[in-house]
Amino acid sequence: MPDYNIIFGGGKFGSYFIKKLEDPILSFVIDNDANCLLANEYPKMKIEEAHKKILLDNTKSQTKREQNKFFFIEGNIKTVYELLKIKTPNYIVPTAPIHVILEVIKVLINQEFPNISLSPIKPLSSFQKPDEMFIFSFDKSEIYLSYASWDEKCPDNCPSPLDYCPFHKRKKPITISEFLEQQLVKNKYFGFKSTQIGPGYGGIEGKLIKNQLEKLFNFIERNSNDFPIEILVGTTCNCHGVLSGLQLFNSE
């Protein structure tokens, strides 16, 4: 069983996640800002030290109290990918204002397929959606889906109820995760569903990330003679989601 978490983003939401954890385990807070909110809250650690700590047999060499520690790593998405390659975490908790999983996928493709170039593409937003669902499309290579309007704010301790939102008084006929799975061509859509760990916070299970990245790797290898190809990447929960598009083409 994996025994560590990755928290990407050392700001307000990363701090909220840590404070709410009832039974914390070894966790690495990663942020490229050495002066972020959590940078001075926890011991700083180099990536090489983190590698050793992840590979350590915690159950034999450390007490439970010693395991329950957080460490700050000044790093970026490449740092996340390096840790992923060492050992699958319990969760990746994306708290930074970027599509973290998409950026991890870009690093994977750049490192594992150096002859492939990437170009962002905007996903189509003409879905057959429920009336209660909102879709926001800006001048970027991503769209946002939500059961809250752009001006509505969700409470910090939201339990993410399945069928009805008591805060915005709105029915939810289908979760955002299920909606995208149904609407998109499955062999070109790679979905990453966030699991609710507690009211107002959650993370993406490491085993799901591992499986989806392996699926993507195999998809690229199978279609290497059919470039350019397009993929869609979604990070979702019951109530919200972000969908990004990438075109892959041979740079040789």
Q: Which of 21-35, 164-178, 234-248 has the lowest mean pLDDT?
A: 21-35
Return the sign of the alpha-carbon dihedral for residues 144, 147, 153, 156: negative
| Residue 112, token pair as written in the block | 């594992």
Residue 214 domain-assigned (yes or no): yes
The angle formed by the CA atoms of residues 15, 17 and 20, to the nearest 5 degrees, is 110
d(CA 185, CA 175): 18
Q: Are residues 93 and 124 in the same domain?
A: no
| Residue 214, token pair as written in the block | 């392996």
Q: Would you state the pLDDT for residue 179? A: 95
Q: Are residues 141 and 90 in the same domain?
A: no
Looking at the structure of the chain, the number of domains it has is 2
pLDDT in tens, 181-231: 999 977 799 999 999 888 888 899 999 999 999 999 999 999 988 899 999
Proportion of the chain above pLDDT 90, given as a percent: 69
Q: Are residues 171 and 138 in the same domain?
A: yes
Q: Are residues 199 and 231 in the same domain?
A: yes
Question: What is the overall mean pLDDT for the chain?
Answer: 90
Residue 109 domain-assigned (yes or no): no
Beta bridge partners of residue 180, listed in sequence order = none
- Cβ neighbours of residue 84 under 8 Å, at least 6 residues apart? 6, 104, 206, 209, 210, 213
Q: Would you state the pLDDT for residue 22? A: 72
The residue segments making up the domain with residue 25 are 4-97
Confidence of residue 232 (pLDDT cuts 50, 70, 90): very high
Average pLDDT over residues 127-154: 91
Residue 110 domain-assigned (yes or no): no
Residue 104 domain-assigned (yes or no): no
Confidence of residue 113 (pLDDT cuts 50, 70, 90): very high
d(CA 36, CA 49): 21
Q: Are residues 125 and 244 in the same domain?
A: yes
pLDDT in tens, 29-62: 999 999 999 998 999 999 999 998 888 755 444 5
Q: Would you state the pLDDT for residue 20? A: 82
Residue 102 domain-assigned (yes or no): no
| Residue 135, token pair as written in the block | 């879709």
Average pLDDT over residues 17-32: 87
Q: Are residues 75 and 21 in the same domain?
A: yes
pLDDT in tens, 114-129: 999 999 998 876 788 9
